[in-house]
Structure 1
Amino acid sequence: MSIVTESTSTERKNECRERIIHNQKVLNCSHRNLPYIPKTQQTTRNCRCCILQHENTFNGLLREFNNLKALFLNDNYIENIKLSQIKHLKNLYLNYNKLRLFPDFSINGSEKDCYFPNLEILAVVSNDIKKIASDNFKCLLKLKAPSLDKNPIKVLPNNLLSKLPNLEILQLRFLLTDNLTLKPFAFKSASLKMLQFEFNRPATALFDSFNDAFRFVPNLETLKLGFISMLLLTNQQLSALFSPLANISMFKCFACQISQDPKVILNSMRIVIEVDLQSNRITTLSDETFKNNKHLKYLSLRYNDIAHIQESALPVSLLNNLHSLDLSQNPCVCDCNLEWLINWMKA
């Protein structure tokens, strides 16, 4: 029979546990309320992934983990960071902290010397970062996917992504500010492939330039927009905004209050495979709507205001090419003019 003293019990409670995640050994210190980082020599030296959540302090821990590839520091009270070089680190998660400034990853301001030279994924979701600039990314030459959601950023400046030659994915959702301005060349990037941009504000107040907003992302394949009101945009403005997106394969505009025939948006998207226009105000489809979208396979017009659909708007050549069609939650009038669609569905 063993006797567990109070000190032994507390010590065990504060111990970090090893887990296996994606075939990697992980040191999990989540939900431990630790006032310090436990130093277990053998574990720290061999650890490749570390999860530290709800910590009160972590300054100085980085130099204990020279071989880290993934570091999770979510759900803490971190206001600033004292960095030490970790050459193997690829994934860094600083979500839900108190950062007021974007961390400076450069060593002594150098664009060549970096604390995390191999960093590929950086998440700083839900902090208190109000300003972002291209210099914040200097030396992060291998960064592929930064996530800046839920920060009170007020301006997305020109050439924001200019120092990220390997950028592939950018997420900017629900920025916590009433007034966000998107400068004309903010998204300029030769490598960006996927952009997710959601912000509850009229497009007329958000975009400084409709002509240039997406003009300088030549390799963009996926564009997901959400909650940006386009109700007051003219056909000319919509065309200017979306006409540069010739290489798009997936396009989503959720709850953007689009009321026009979407042909003005889709005309230039000649190789698009998936179109998602859920929760808009579209009332009309025409024989011009999908005329140029010969490769379309997935189409969602769920939750719009479409009452009548002419057969010429969705010709058999288009329908037979589709893998998925969602017209649910539209006030469609079930009359003889819709018989052609019902017959196609039965065929």
Structure 2
Amino acid sequence: MRTGVMRAVVVMAAMAVLLGEAKTAAGVACLSAEMIAPCTCKEKSRGPSIACENADEAQIIRSLSVLKKNSTMIYRLMFRSSSFPRVHDYTFLGLDVQHLTMSRTNISIVEESSLRTLAQTLETLDLSYNNLHTVPTAALEHLQNLSFLNLNYNMIKVLGQAAFSGLRALERVSLYDNQMQHIEDTSFSGTGDKLFRLNLGKNHLETVPNLQALTNLQVLTLSDNHISSLKVGSFKGLKMLDMLMLENNKIQTLEANVFSELSNLNSLNIKHNHISNISQYAFSGLEDNLEWLELGHNRLDHIPSHSLRTLNNLRQLDLDSNRIVEVAEDAFEGYGDSIKFLMLNRNKIKSILPMTFFDLHSLEWLKLSHNDLTQLSEDTVQPILDTLTMIDVSSNPLKCACELMWLRSWLEAFTRRETYKSFSQHTCVGENSRIQDILELKTERLGCPEYTADTRAIAMSTPVVPSLTVCLTVVALLPQL
């Protein structure tokens, strides 16, 4: 008994020591709200998290002065929606900060030595929603442990030479929604080899910048710019790129070999462009790794099968909101084995031939809503019924006929087996142009003696993934970052 008590005392003492060391490592506890007003403090496991909002420069300086006298280690320090237009030299002298946010504070100048004292500790820096016209290179170059830099929503027009020099640990940079018109070829020299994510979205770029120095870049965002064409060599050096986002640009044609440098590319988003022509060799170099291809909201009038047939591992093909009228019977021949998700909604498709889906042996989701289909026979979908877990043919002028009874049975089974938040009503056009819910179709009324209970049971026995949650009206299958 005595031994057990002694053991408990020893364990408790050891825990106290460990907790004490952890507290010391994390920094001191929060100061009272009165002492650091208008700032507030929350105790986190890694140290104090301090937020200063709606404060002026004098109030911020006073709060910092109190913190310097009473605390050294701060996990997160945030200034938001305040007036702090100039970050003066040695502003943070006496503090160790891991994560610093100065957002919506009207900053236009960051002095050269303003962040120098944080060189050893600062890991992330958020300067978004300010008035910066250039990257504060001189102030940043000492931050040898900085891994994330957020410069979103500023007014930067040009990235000059070695704009991020000295940031050897930098992994992520975001320059979304600036006024970028030009990026020097050497803008990213001196950043080391850790940078894997770069966001240049919503700027004024007219061409793809030269980023070949970023040999380990994995995610590149160039969406919402003014890029009108892609050239061979545009992505030179980016052999490790996994995801490329080019949506909302002005690209009209995908020429041969434009992606040939991107042998590891897994996801390509070119939605919301003006693409009407795709070269047969546009996707050369992407044969083995490309799985997610988004070509929605363009000007294609056909499925670009000749370009897609080399893509051996394509899983998702998004052709939503184009101008496709016909789907050729061999549209998916030669590359359909791997496709699981096919989006053809919001086109002008009038008919689909019986053998069209024959090669889609892995298809799980089929989106055909908002087209001009008047019929969709069971023979047409029979090749994919064994794998299909979702089909959406809503908002089509389907004619109420016996050949739709397979769809009624499929929808009935779907409503019983799935959990869903929104169900897009499937209708057809009956006599006297009367709109009817397909779920309410009656075989007797349509005169379908051949549609027996046995055939209905077969149609309703489509295999499904257990506990799959599906929404018929919303498909959002993007790779997670």
TM-score (norm. length: structure 2) = 0.59
Contact 1:185/1:216, CA 8 A, preserved across alignment: yes
Residue aligning to 2:373 = 332
Deviation of the 1:191 alpha carbon? 1.0
Pick one of 311, 314, 318 that aligns with 1:276: 318
Q: Distance in 2 between matches of 1:340 and 1:287?
A: 23
Residues 287-326 of structure 1 mapped to structure 2, 5 A cutoff: 287-291=329-333, 292-315=335-358, 318=360, 321-326=362-367
Pick one of 192, 197, 202 that aligns with 1:145: 197
**Larger relative contact order (Cα-Cα within 8 Å, sequence gap ≥ 6):** 1
Corresponding position: 1:197 with 2:250: no
Q: Distance in 1 between matches of 2:260 and 2:98?
A: 40
Deviation of the 1:170 alpha carbon? 0.6
Residue aligning to 2:260 = 215
Q: Distance in 2 between matches of 1:34 and 1:106?
A: 23
Pick one of 280, 295, 302 that aligns with 1:253: 295
Residue aligning to 2:126 = 72
Residues 37-76 of structure 1 mapped to structure 2, 5 A cutoff: 39=91, 44-45=95-96, 47-55=97-105, 56=107, 57-59=109-111, 60-66=113-119, 67-76=121-130
Residue aligning to 1:4 = none
Contact 1:18/1:27, CA 8 A, preserved across alignment: no
**Measured at CA, do residues 62 and 215 of structure 1 come closer, stay the same or move farther in structure 2, by a change above 3 Å?**
same
Deviation of the 1:136 alpha carbon? 1.2
Q: Which has the higher helix share?
A: 2
**Measured at CA, do residues 40 and 279 of structure 1 come closer, stay the same or move farther in structure 2, by a change above 3 Å?**
same
Q: Distance in 2 between matches of 1:85 and 1:16?
A: 29
Residue aligning to 1:12 = 37
Runs of 4+ in 1 over 6 A off after TM superposition: 21-24
Deviation of the 1:79 alpha carbon? 1.4
Q: Distance in 1 between matches of 2:405 and 2:186?
A: 58
**Measured at CA, do residues 216 and 34 of structure 1 come closer, stay the same or move farther in structure 2, by a change above 3 Å?**
same
Contact 1:155/1:183, CA 8 A, preserved across alignment: no
**Measured at CA, do residues 16 and 77 of structure 1 come closer, stay the same or move farther in structure 2, by a change above 3 Å?**
farther
Q: Which has the larger radius of gyration?
A: 2
Gaps of 5+ in 2: 1-32, 50-74, 375-397, 412-459, 463-481
Contact 1:145/1:169, CA 8 A, preserved across alignment: yes
- CA RMSD, Structure 1 to Structure 2 (Å): 3.1
Q: Distance in 2 between matches of 1:142 and 1:71?
A: 17
CA offsets per residue over residues 97-137 of structure 1, 9 Å max, x none? 11122154468xxxxxx421011111111222211243112
Q: Distance in 2 between matches of 1:53 and 1:21?
A: 24
Q: Which amino acid aligns with 1:284?
A: E
**Equivalent residue of 1:201, what SS?**
coil
Corresponding position: 1:90 with 2:147: yes
Residue aligning to 1:5 = none
Q: Which amino acid aligns with 1:258?
A: L
**Measured at CA, do residues 200 and 164 of structure 1 come closer, stay the same or move farther in structure 2, by a change above 3 Å?**
closer
Deviation of the 1:254 alpha carbon? 2.0
Residue aligning to 1:162 = 212
Deviation of the 1:289 alpha carbon? 1.8
Q: Distance in 2 between matches of 1:40 and 1:197?
A: 39
Identical columns (%) = 22
CA offsets per residue over residues 231-283 of structure 1, 9 Å max, x none? 2x2xxx43132344212111111211111133233211121111111111122
Residue aligning to 1:187 = 235
TM-score (norm. length: structure 1) = 0.80
Pick one of 225, 238, 241 that aligns with 2:270: 225
